[in-house]
Amino acid sequence: MARHKFKIGQTVTFTPPRMTYAASSREYTIVRLLPSEGNDCQYRIKGVAEPFERIARESELTARS
């Protein structure tokens, strides 16, 4: 099982796949760690400008500096 790279509360940049719906904000906060899907960990994330949460794969996230 893969280990999560990001921690709850960490701010990340979300880059969704091109074929999915657009994200209104690029800055997100990790809300919950989810089980991995294959070798890619999953997270529940919350956008600063969005009233809802999303599920994102680790490969779609980048740490903010």
Residue boundaries of the structural domains of the chain:
1-6+21-26+38-50
Which pTM was predicted? 0.84
CA angle 47, 45, 28 (to 5 degrees): 40
For 34, residues 6+ apart whose C-beta sits below 8 A from its C-beta are 41, 42, 43, 44, 55
pLDDT at 37: 84
Task: With H, G, I as helix, E, B as strand and everything else as coil, classify residue 27.
Answer: strand
pLDDT at 24: 58
The distance in angstroms from the start CA to the end CA of the chain is: 27
Beta bridge partners of 40: 37
How does pLDDT run across 2-61, given as a tens digit for each residue? Answer: 799 999 999 999 988 776 666 656 899 999 999 998 889 999 999 988 899 999 999 999
If DSSP states are collapsed to H, E and C, what string results for 40-58? EEEEEEEECCCCCEEEEEH
